[in-house]
Every structure is written in structure tokens, then in C-alpha cells.
């Protein structure tokens, strides 16, 4: 399993008009699009992975990228374990 993150400007974001960045996290299950948005009130970054219904946050964008990758891995492992137990 390997990952590669790419970020580029998207325009207006979902958190009070803040500028968002998008990224792609590659996992064995496919590509997952991640939206990173700064939250000026909380002084942190929010990440969203709509494909997997993930929303989270971290203090910096770099930490948000790491946390998003961890969250994607967790959800994929969880879903795989549910398929095995059926």
C-alpha cells in the first residue's frame, strides 16, 4: 500500500468562505479525494472525505493530511473486516 498526496487550489471552501485545498490519497482500494479547509475560528484545518463519510481536523494542514490518510486506512480496514465476518 502506498500513498501520494497532491494539493491544488479549489476556490471557495465550505468553512465560512475560506479557501479550500483538495488532495488525493491513493490506497489499495482506489483514489480518495480529500478536501482541506482552514477554520479561522478554531485555528485549525478541517478535512473531509465524502466518499467514505469522513470529517476530521488537525492543527496544521500537514497534520490534517496525515490524519486524513490514517482515517482512510481505518475505515478501509474496518470495512474489510466486516466483509470477512459475513
Give 59-70 pLDDT, tens digit per residue: 999 999 999 999
DSSP 12-77: E-TTTTPEEEEEEEEETTEEEEEEEEEETTTTEEEEEEGGGTEEEEESSHHHHHHHHHHHHHHHHH
pLDDT at 51: 92
Q: What is the pTM of this model?
A: 0.72
User: How far, in Å, CA of 54 to CA of 58, rounded?
Assistant: 13
**Reported confidence tier of residue 18, pLDDT bands at 50, 70, 90:** low
- C-alpha closest to that of 15 among 57, 52, 51, 53: 57
Asked whether residue 9 carries a pLDDT value surpassing 50, the answer given is no
**3-class DSSP assignment, residue 84:** helix
Amino acid at each position: 500500500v502506498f500513498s501520494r498526496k497532491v494539493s491544488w487550489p479549489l476556490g471557495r471552501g465550505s468553512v465560512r468562505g475560506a479557501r479550500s485545498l483538495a488532495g488525493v490519497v491513493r490506497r489499495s482500494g482506489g483514489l480518495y479525494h480529500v478536501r482541506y479547509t482552514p477554520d479561522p475560528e478554531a485555528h485549525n484545518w478541517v478535512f473531509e472525505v465524502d466518499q467514505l463519510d469522513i470529517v476530521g481536523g488537525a492543527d496544521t494542514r500537514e497534520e490534517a493530511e496525515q490524519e486524513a490518510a490514517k482515517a482512510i486506512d481505518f475505515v478501509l480496514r474496518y470495512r474489510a473486516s466486516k466483509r470477512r465476518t459475513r
